[in-house]
Amino acid sequence: MNALHPIHPADPAIHHLTAPQLTELVVELRTEGREFGLLWPSATSGEQILDGRVLVSLGNVPASTVINLLALLREFKRHRGRA
């Protein structure tokens, strides 16, 4: 994960993610994002699949969106810690 190089929704690197792994990412996003007001209490790993990609039930966004948001939060926290 790198905030400067977001993952594309069709990136084959995320095709192997399972629903439990996506659930862990959503939980991490909730935890990391809480401080910034990013709250998705109803977000879950979806059972919907689009073009071979499991979607997160967050308005049916691709899993790459969750991964990219986590990368941005981590990058922000890392830079904030330097200031």
CA angle 74, 80, 81 (to 5 degrees): 90
- Looking at per-residue pLDDT, the higher value among 9 and 39 belongs to 9
Q: With a threshold of 0.75, does the pTM exceed it?
A: no
pLDDT of 47 > 70? The answer is no
Q: Where are the domains of the chain?
A: 12-82
pLDDT tens string 56-68: 666 667 888 889 9
